[in-house]
């Protein structure tokens, strides 16, 4: 908490907002004490005077000094605003908490009521309350407070509901933690931040709301006056003495902005928690290491896909984070290649870069990026779009979010053929129905008219694959296509990919964290670790001849249906290096049982082990697994 | 405190939907029952019902012969504990690792305050974590470390039954092996029984003594792991077995 | 830890969910959705009418005495009480109120003795013009502006534009409509004299009032549209649309826009309610004879029949506007059950 506060005040906006807030508070405390006499001194002879050295904001209809009155009004304006926010919080927060803590039925009834009252304009609510309890400062405060209460109620309810559904609250309940502690330590502690932020900005909102009421003559009435009331007085003299309106107006605007700034600054300080400060040093060290990685010598390009020395970097505050550091990869026509790696290995980023789908601000470079004999990086965008649209298909991890929820399945399939083959809408639909049937979706004609939410997860992934088959792709890139699916559905999708490879001859580049999935589908496996390829070998020799200790550990650590149940699983100690903390040598050295000084000092190149087998290791291992 | 978990005729309904339909389960004292099934099969709902986190429509749940729903929260906590799936959601981000584990000890009140620090250290060592981690906040821990903290927290209550709900499915494979090894080590060292829930048949096979296969709210097959997997009787069990991608050729 | 956290976190959430196909449903979703929304509108209007009715009952003391002042003769007070029906039992008054409101008989003003409906007729034109112009201006400016800036600044592109946008809309959104109105009066009364600053003499007299309402509400809504644009642009299905190599126009307009409008209307729609009430403030600043000026006048003079009527009319407009937004959302989102939140 203390560190967060320090962050608040270290920022420029933070200090500006804090200084202004302090000024306002001081004015509210001392303003009336110092300037009350001057503010109330009536001198009818000097009514409606323009600004002068004596009266900076001019005078009102009774000749009172508008500047002094503006300063004195600070106290009433601020106090009313704070009081209104207080009422909103006191009413709204408990209601929201209760609604969230008691059953789904109460919650949904609560939501209907609150949704209507939130959409209902606060000014009308405030006027209504003001009418009932009488026009004046209390009426305005209560009116604005009640008008804002639904906002707090809903915020509290949503926040609480989301925290309550988290496992740590369930865990605390199973530990027998008492309710009072559960609410305080686990729920309130974790919803407090956004509530504090909203409470801060709400003071500004209250201030503007009450000022509006007073401005209309529905808030502070003589002899009381706040900034809103003064503004309406000033408006009467706008032609002769504009400062009388501009003065209080500026104070209102300024205070409104101070509180919303404070809210944003506090939000920024809370959000800053996750920020990482170590990036720069690392990024530099790592860039140097990456430069030492040697690119493979150029080879004749008979491959379908030929990538050499692919690099992808993500700019961060202190330099570029290298997610991919010199990946070289070849896929022959009709070949099935798998890329395996754990999260953060760079496998997904690599294929996204190959598919030209990496977006700003990431930076992609490669010595060679050829697909079907054409260098992609130098192609004109329009030509590249058409070229990849007809020859490359992609399937992504999450079929739930990969289809557009607002479009019919048929439209999403048909548009591919319409755009790339120039088919008419009806021809494209016919083709879409054919493709859906091909991927095993029954009643394709009917299915075309449905929306994605009417499809199950497995069917959506089939539809995604059908979409890729709308043209005749030479390569299908499938990025964790079954990770979100059940085992039995996974089997069906993998079989479908195999069938397409067999029947249509499309090559497949399959990305997975699960080496057994790849072993079941692919002919060749590429193992990635910390942004580099550590091994590239035929699936057939995986169990027989895997040479890199990481590949071997990966295989040994996954239990399968033949694993010895009486022995411990092989484990890899430690964890992969962070992108901002990559070592100069082999990235696996710190976790490797065979590592020597050489490994720590120098990155091993990807070197041939046997025919069609490459490994990047100074101490390749042998023997069956 | 020991004693197995016995579930009889458990039915759980949400709204009008029956999620768990008349399930019988026996987690035998000192043994591990693996509960396997696909998403939506109702396996996690069983765990939540045992812990009082899901509404029980009908049936009996006993631990060591006692109906858990008649136990006080504290008594229930002493008998059953759970480790959750998501290592990032199951630890309060505002509490230190030590605080998280200590909270369980405090809630139970079995240990005098001065012995709690030593117990926290013991529990962290039990899950192969350095006691130095006690001061850290969860966000400074890796997924595998967090999951081991969650195991330590559950073991703080010295429960008779531990429920592990998909505890490795959010972890990378190399980390999964660490957690499984730790779990096996504890099972050998401490005496408790475990309900191990997973969609991954190979992991269930590795860690469990008995297995129950679940589909659409119903247990379709149950028995000792070796028997069920060697000679599955229910077609769904066979379908599951066939669907698993194999790395090693099966003998 | 940065990238691995995100990737690991994604997996269990998606793996744990199974979407059930919802075939064979008898009533189409949108029909049920619309019926539900209409029911909600009816309930809301009932609530507004009941509350405005009860308003007079809630007032501590005798509302007629409060309205006419301490000097009014007791006989006059009694006469007006009867005229308002305040001598009747509460339940009779309630049904009487309903009957009158539904037939457009809003009663007579306590002060002028004129039928309130005459007042409404005379003034509703100006108010409707300001509200309609402001609604259109706010929606068009906010959606177009937010969308364009959202696309232009997506994923850290054009940081200067992003900063300028945040700053400008932040200031504009923080300025309340009455301040903007006063500022405009000052500018156009003193410095430029292009537009009239008071009265409703011609078409050009609506320019400044509309501007005063639109500036702040459009800025607020534009921020919402920009941030929802950023969210929609990050969705997987837009990546897929690019992976299908569709032209950029099709990616943004066909795949992005409908989802974006849903998101923008869901959040930004709330802003439109304040556009309606903005007219109350703005009419008073620019001295436009409309419902807003009449409402404020009636509130100050405690002319309750006038207050009730105008509140019901404005509240009804807001509620119907919300219904229209809901219907538009239902049309844009085939799932038709997305709650506004």
Other beta carbons within 10 Å of A613: 18
Contact between chains at C281 and A212 (C-beta distance less than 8 A): yes
Three-class DSSP category at C260: helix
Nearest-by-CA chain C residue for A206: C176
CA dist., res. C264 & res. B92, Å (int): 33
Q: Which residues are within 8 A (CB) of A216 and not within 5 positions of it... i.e. 6 or more apart?
A: A232, C178, C280, C281, C284, C296
pLDDT of residue A222: 82
Q: Which residues, given as ranges, of chain A have pLDDT below 70?
A: 1-10, 103, 270-302
Residue A452 resides in a domain:
yes
Average pLDDT, chain A: 86
- Contact (Cβ atoms closer than 8 angstroms) between residue A176 and residue B107: yes
Contact between chains at A579 and C2 (C-beta distance less than 8 A): yes
Per-residue pLDDT tens digits for A511-556: 999 999 999 999 999 999 999 999 999 999 999 999 999 999 989 8
Nearest-by-CA chain A residue for B173: A558
Residue B237 resides in a domain:
yes
* Cα→Cα distances A335→A478, A510, B247, Å: 14, 11, 20
Residue B103 at interface with chain C, using a CB cutoff of 8 Å: no
* Residues in chain C closer than 8 A to A260 (CB atoms): 170, 174
- Contact (Cβ atoms closer than 8 angstroms) between residue A616 and residue A586: yes
Nearest-by-CA chain A residue for B51: A174
* Residues in chain B closer than 8 A to A494 (CB atoms): 245
Domain that holds residue B77: 5-243
Residue B90 at interface with chain C, using a CB cutoff of 8 Å: no
CA dist., res. A331 & res. A475, Å (int): 9
Shared domain check, A345 and A259? no
CA dist., res. A205 & res. A228, Å (int): 13
pLDDT of residue C331: 78
CA dist., res. A371 & res. A391, Å (int): 9
CA dist., res. B190 & res. B182, Å (int): 12
> What angle, rounded to 10 degrees, do the helices at A122-133 and C257-285 form?
40
Query: What are residue A512's phi and psi, to 5 degrees?
Result: -155, 155
Residue A264 resides in a domain:
yes
Shared domain check, A314 and A260? no
Three-class DSSP category at A522: coil
Residue B154 resides in a domain:
yes
Shared domain check, A380 and A256? no
Of A171, A147, A33, A173, the residue nearest A92 (C-alpha):
A147
pLDDT band at C341 (very low <50, low <70, confident <90, very high): very low
Residue A297 resides in a domain:
no
Contact between chains at B245 and A175 (C-beta distance less than 8 A): no
Contact between chains at C18 and B40 (C-beta distance less than 8 A): yes
Three-class DSSP category at C62: coil
* Residues in chain A closer than 8 A to B140 (CB atoms): none
Q: For an interface test with B, which of C9, C10, C20, C22 has the most B Cβ atoms less than 10 Å from its Cβ?
A: C9
Q: Which of C9, C17, C18 sits opposite B88 (nearest CB)?
A: C9
Residues 93-152 of B with CB under 8 A from A: 93-95, 103-104, 107-108, 139, 142, 144, 150
Residue B50 at interface with chain A, using a CB cutoff of 8 Å: no
Q: Which of B166, B170, B199 sits opposite C8 (nearest CB)?
A: B170
Per-residue pLDDT tens digits for B157-190: 889 999 999 999 888 887 899 899 999 999 988 8
Residue A497 resides in a domain:
no
Shared domain check, A371 and A246? no
Residue A220 resides in a domain:
yes
Contact between chains at A520 and B93 (C-beta distance less than 8 A): no
Contact between chains at A487 and B95 (C-beta distance less than 8 A): no
Overall number of domains in chain A: 2
Residue A133 resides in a domain:
yes
Domain holding A438: CATH number? 3.40.50.300
pLDDT band at B31 (very low <50, low <70, confident <90, very high): very high
pLDDT of residue A422: 92
- Contact (Cβ atoms closer than 8 angstroms) between residue A510 and residue A481: yes
* Residues in chain C closer than 8 A to A227 (CB atoms): none
Residue B172 at interface with chain C, using a CB cutoff of 8 Å: yes
- Contact (Cβ atoms closer than 8 angstroms) between residue A226 and residue A210: yes
pLDDT of residue A2: 54
* Residues in chain C closer than 8 A to A202 (CB atoms): none
Map out the domains of chain C with their CATH numbers. Answer: 30-102 (no CATH), 125-289 (1.10.3720.10)
DSSP string computed for C77-139: HHHHHHHHTTTS-HHHHHHHHHHHHHTT---B-TTT--BHHHHHHHHHHHHHHHHHHHHHHHH
Report the gap between the CA of A120 and the closest CA in chain C (Å): 6
Shared domain check, A320 and A257? no
Cis peptide before A223 (omega within 30 of 0): yes
Report the gap between the CA of C241 and the closest CA in chain A (Å): 9
Contact between chains at A486 and B205 (C-beta distance less than 8 A): no
Overall number of domains in chain B: 1
CA dist., res. B203 & res. B205, Å (int): 5
Question: Is C20's pLDDT higher than 60?
Answer: no
Question: Is B121's pLDDT higher than 90?
Answer: yes
* Residues in chain A closer than 8 A to C15 (CB atoms): 483-485
Residue B107 resides in a domain:
yes
Of A443, A473, A503, the last residue of a domain is: A473
Of A516, A472, A513, the residue nearest A491 (C-alpha):
A516
Residue A24 resides in a domain:
yes
Other beta carbons within 10 Å of C318: 22
Query: What are residue A440's phi and psi, to 5 degrees?
Result: 85, 25
Q: Which of A211, A344, A467 sits opposite C3 (nearest CB)?
A: A344
Query: What are residue B220's phi and psi, to 5 degrees?
Result: -95, -25
* Cα→Cα distances C300→A214, A499, B192, C306, Å: 12, 80, 76, 11
Domain holding A44: CATH number? 1.10.3720.10
DSSP string computed for C212-230: HHHHHHHHHHHHHHHHHHH
Report the gap between the CA of B210 and the closest CA in chain A (Å): 13
Query: What are residue A373's phi and psi, to 5 degrees?
Result: 80, 0
pLDDT of residue C10: 34
Instruction: List the structure tokens of A397.
Output: 């991890």
pLDDT band at C176 (very low <50, low <70, confident <90, very high): confident
Residue A578 at interface with chain B, using a CB cutoff of 8 Å: no
Report the gap between the CA of C6 and the closest CA in chain B (Å): 10
Of B11, B35, B36, the residue nearest B22 (C-alpha):
B11
Question: Is C238's pLDDT higher than 60?
Answer: yes
Nearest-by-CA chain B residue for A187: B92
Strand partners, A330: A306
Of A445, A473, A501, the last residue of a domain is: A473
Give the angle C145-C151-C157 at the CA atoms, nearest 5°. 120
Predicted ipTM of the assembly: 0.87
Tokens 């959430």, residue located: C13
pLDDT of residue A500: 93
Burial of B81 (0-12, 13-18, 19+ CB in 10 A): buried
Per-residue pLDDT tens digits for C268-314: 777 788 888 899 999 998 889 999 999 999 988 888 889 889 988 99
More confident residue, A13 or C254: C254
Least confident of B12-16, C32-36, C257-261: C32-36
> What angle, rounded to 10 degrees, do the helices at A189-215 and A122-133 form?
70
Tokens 């792709």, residue located: A473
Residue A210 at interface with chain B, using a CB cutoff of 8 Å: no
Q: For an interface test with B, which of A167, A169, A489 has the most B Cβ atoms less than 10 Å from its Cβ?
A: A167
Highest averaged pLDDT of the listed ranges A292-301, B88-97, C170-179: B88-97
pLDDT of residue B26: 94
Shared domain check, A248 and A110? yes
pLDDT of residue A271: 54
Q: Which of A249, A389, A396 sits opposite C179 (nearest CB)?
A: A249
* Residues in chain C closer than 8 A to A127 (CB atoms): 295, 299, 311
- How many alpha carbons lie under 13 Å from residue C24 in its C-beta half-sphere? 2
Three-class SS of B218-241 = EEEEEEEHHHHHHCCCCHHHHHHH
Contact between chains at C9 and B170 (C-beta distance less than 8 A): yes
Q: Which of B90, B154, B245 sits opposite A514 (nearest CB)?
A: B245
Nearest-by-CA chain A residue for B77: A175
Domain holding B188: CATH number? 3.40.50.300
pLDDT of residue A350: 95
Residue A278 at interface with chain B, using a CB cutoff of 8 Å: no
Contact between chains at A419 and C247 (C-beta distance less than 8 A): yes
Which helix (H) or strand (E) is A164 found in, with range? helix A137-164
Report the gap between the CA of B152 and the closest CA in chain C (Å): 22
Residue A525 resides in a domain:
no
Shared domain check, A417 and A367? yes
Q: Which residues are within 8 A (CB) of C154 and not within 5 positions of it... i.e. 6 or more apart?
A: A360, C229, C230, C233
Strand partners, C5: none
Burial of C54 (0-12, 13-18, 19+ CB in 10 A): middle
Residues 129-158 of A with CB under 8 A from B: none
Which chains contact C through at least 3 pairs of Cβ atoms less than 8 Å apart? A, B
pLDDT, mean of residues B7-28 = 92
Residues 380-439 of A with CB under 8 A from B: none
Contact between chains at C335 and A405 (C-beta distance less than 8 A): yes
Shared domain check, A247 and A324? no
Residue A515 at interface with chain B, using a CB cutoff of 8 Å: yes
Q: Which of C8, C15, C18 sits opposite B143 (nearest CB)?
A: C8
Contact between chains at A401 and C18 (C-beta distance less than 8 A): no
Residue A514 at interface with chain B, using a CB cutoff of 8 Å: yes
Residue A171 at interface with chain B, using a CB cutoff of 8 Å: yes
Shared domain check, A248 and A315? no
Domain that holds residue A185: 7-271
Residue B250 resides in a domain:
no
Instruction: List the structure tokens of A607.
Output: 């070197």
Residue B73 resides in a domain:
yes
Q: Which of A116, A231, A459 sits opposite C40 (nearest CB)?
A: A116
Shared domain check, A317 and A240? no
* Residues in chain C closer than 8 A to A118 (CB atoms): 270
Three-class DSSP category at A547: coil
Three-class SS of A181-247 = HHHHHHHHHHHHHHHHHHHHHHHHHHHHHHHHHHHCCCCCCCCCCCHHHHHHHHHHCCCCCCHHHHH
CB pairs under 8 A between B and C: 28
The pTM of this model reads 0.80
Contact between chains at B86 and C12 (C-beta distance less than 8 A): yes
């Amino acid at each position: 908490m203390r560190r967060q506060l320090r962050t608040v005040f270290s920022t420029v906006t933070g200090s500006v907002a804090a200084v202004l807030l302090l000024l306002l508070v001081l004015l509210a405390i001392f303003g009336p004490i110092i300037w009350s006499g001057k503010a109330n001194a009536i001198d009818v002879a000097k009514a409606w005077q323009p600004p002068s050295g004596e009266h900076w904001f001019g005078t009102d209809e009774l000749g009172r000094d508008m500047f002094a009155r503006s300063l004195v009004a600070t106290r009433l304006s601020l106090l009313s605003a704070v009081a209104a926010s207080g009422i909103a919080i006191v009413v709204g927060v408990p209601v929201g908490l209760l609604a969230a803590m008691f059953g789904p039925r109460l919650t949904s009834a609560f939501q209907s009521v609150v949704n209507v009252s939130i959409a209902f304009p606060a000014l009308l609510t405030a006027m209504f309350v003001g009418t009932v309890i009488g026009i004046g400062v209390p009426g305005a405060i209560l009116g604005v407070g009640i008008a804002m209460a639904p906002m707090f109620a809903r915020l509290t309810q949503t926040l609480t509901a989301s925290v309550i559904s988290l496992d740590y609250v369930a865990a605390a309940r199973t530990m027998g933690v008492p309710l009072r502690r559960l609410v305080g330590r686990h729920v309130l502690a974790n919803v407090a931040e956004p509530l504090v932020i909203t409470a801060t900005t709400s003071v500004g909102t209250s201030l503007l709301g009450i000022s509006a009421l007073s401005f209309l003559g529905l808030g502070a009435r003589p002899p009381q006056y706040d900034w809103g009331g003064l503004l309406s007085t000033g408006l009467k003299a706008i032609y002769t003495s504009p400062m009388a309106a501009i003065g209080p107006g500026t104070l209102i605007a300024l205070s409104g902005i101070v509180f919303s700034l404070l809210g944003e600054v506090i939000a920024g300080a809370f959000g800053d928690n996750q920020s990482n400060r170590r990036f720069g040093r690392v990024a530099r060290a790592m860039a140097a290491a990456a430069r030492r990685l040697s690119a493979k010598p150029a080879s004749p390009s008979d491959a379908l896909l030929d990538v050499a020395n692919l690099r992808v970097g993500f700019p961060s505050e202190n330099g570029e984070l290298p997610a991919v550091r010199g990946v070289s990869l070849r896929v022959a026509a009709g070949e099935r290649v798998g890329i395996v790696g754990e999260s953060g290995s760079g496998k997904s980023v690599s294929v996204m870069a190959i598919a030209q789908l990496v977006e700003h601000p990431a930076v992609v470079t490669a010595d060679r990026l050829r697909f079907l004999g054409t260098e992609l990086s130098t192609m004109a965008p329009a030509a590249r779009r058409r070229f990849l649209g007809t020859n490359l298909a992609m399937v992504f991890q999450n079929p739930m979010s990969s289809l557009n929820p607002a479009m019919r399945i048929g439209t999403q399939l048909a548009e591919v053929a319409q755009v790339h083959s120039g088919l008419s809408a009806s021809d494209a639909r016919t083709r879409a129905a054919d493709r859906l049937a091909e991927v095993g979706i029954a009643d394709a004609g009917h299915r075309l008219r449905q929306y994605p939410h009417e499809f199950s997860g497995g069917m959506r992934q089939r539809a995604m694959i059908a979409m890729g088959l709308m043209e005749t792709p030479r390569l299908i890139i499938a990025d964790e296509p079954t990770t979100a699916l059940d085992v039995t559905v996974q089997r069906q999708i993998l079989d479908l990919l195999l069938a397409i490879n067999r029947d249509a001859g499309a090559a497949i580049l399959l990305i997975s964290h699960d080496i057994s999935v790849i072993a079941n589908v692919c002919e060749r496996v590429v193992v990635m670790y910390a942004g580099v390829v550590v091994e590239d070998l035929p699936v057939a020799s995986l169990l027989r001849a895997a040479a890199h200790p990481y590949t071997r550990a990966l295989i040994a650590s996954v239990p399968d249906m033949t694993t010895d149940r009486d022995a411990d699983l092989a484990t890899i100690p430690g964890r992969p290096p962070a992108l901002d903390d990559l070592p100069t040598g082999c990235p696996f050295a710190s976790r490797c049982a065979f590592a020597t000084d050489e490994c720590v000092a120098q990155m091993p190149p990807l070197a041939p082990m046997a025919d069609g087998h490459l490994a990047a290791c100074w101490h390749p291992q042998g023997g069956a697994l | 405190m020991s004693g197995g978990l016995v579930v009889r005729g458990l039915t759980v309904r949400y709204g009008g939907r029956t999620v768990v339909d008349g399930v019988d389960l026996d987690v035998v004292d000192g043994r591990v029952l693996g509960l396997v099934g696909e998403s939506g099969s109702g396996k996690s709902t069983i765990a939540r019902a045992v812990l009082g986190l899901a509404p029980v429509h009908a049936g009996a749940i006993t631990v060591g012969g006692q109906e858990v729903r008649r136990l006080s929260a504290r008594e229930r906590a002493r008998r059953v504990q759970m480790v959750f799936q998501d290592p990032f959601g199951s630890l309060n981000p505002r509490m230190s690792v030590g605080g998280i584990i200590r909270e369980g000890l405090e809630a139970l009140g079995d240990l005098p305050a001065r012995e709690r620090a030593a117990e926290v250290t013991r529990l962290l060592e039990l899950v192969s974590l350095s006691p130095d981690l006690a001061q850290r906040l969860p966000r400074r821990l890796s997924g595998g470390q967090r999951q081991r903290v969650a195991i330590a927290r559950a073991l703080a209550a010295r429960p008779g039954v531990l429920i592990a709900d998909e505890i490795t499915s959010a972890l990378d494979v190399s980390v999964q092996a660490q957690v499984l090894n730790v779990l096996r080590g504890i099972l050998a060292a401490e005496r408790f029984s475990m309900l191990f829930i997973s969609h991954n048949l190979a992991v269930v096979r590795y860690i469990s003594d008995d297995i129950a296969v679940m589909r659409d709210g119903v247990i379709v097959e149950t028995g000792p792991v070796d028997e069920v997997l060697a000679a599955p009787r229910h077609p769904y069990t066979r379908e599951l077995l066939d669907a698993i991608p194999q790395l090693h050729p099966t003998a | 830890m940065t990238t691995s956290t995100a990737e690991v976190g994604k997996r269990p959430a998606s793996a744990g969910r199974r979407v059930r196909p919802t075939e064979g449903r008898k009533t189409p979703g949108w029909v049920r959705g619309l019926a539900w929304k209409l029911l909600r509108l009816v309930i809301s209007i009932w609530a507004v009418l009941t509350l405005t009715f009860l308003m007079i009952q809630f007032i501590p003391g005798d509302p007629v005495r409060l309205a006419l002042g301490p000097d009014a003769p007791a006989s006059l007070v009694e006469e007006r009480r009867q005229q308002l029906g305040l001598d009747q039992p509460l339940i009779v008054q309630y049904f009487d109120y309903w009957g009158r409101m539904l037939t457009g008989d809003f009663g007579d003003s306590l002060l002028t003795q004129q039928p309130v409906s005459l007042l409404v007729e005379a003034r509703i034109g100006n108010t409707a013009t300001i509200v309609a112009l402001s609604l259109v201006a706010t929606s068009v400016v906010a959606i177009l502006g937010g969308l364009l800036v959202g696309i232009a600044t997506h994923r850290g592109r054009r940081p200067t534009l992003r900063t300028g946008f945040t700053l400008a809309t932040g200031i504009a959104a923080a300025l309340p409509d009455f301040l903007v109105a006063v500022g405009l009066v000052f500018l156009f009364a003193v410095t430029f004299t292009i537009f009239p600053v008071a009265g409703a003499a011609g078409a050009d007299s609506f320019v400044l009032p509309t501007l005063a309402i639109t500036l702040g509400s459009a800025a607020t809504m534009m921020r919402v549209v920009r941030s929802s644009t950023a969210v929609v642009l990050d969705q997987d299905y837009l990546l897929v649309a690019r992976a299908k190599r569709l032209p950029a126009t099709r990616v943004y307009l066909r795949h992005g826009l409908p989802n974006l409008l849903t998101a923008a209307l869901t959040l930004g729609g709330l802003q439109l309610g304040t556009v309606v009430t903005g007219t109350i403030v703005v009419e008073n600043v620019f001295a436009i004879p409309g419902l807003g000026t009449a409402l404020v006048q009636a509130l100050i003079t405690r002319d309750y029949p006038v207050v009730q009527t105008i509140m019901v009319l404005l509240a009804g407009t807001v509620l119907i506007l919300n219904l229209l937004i809901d219907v538009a959302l239902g049309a844009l989102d085939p799932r038709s059950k997305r709650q506004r939140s």
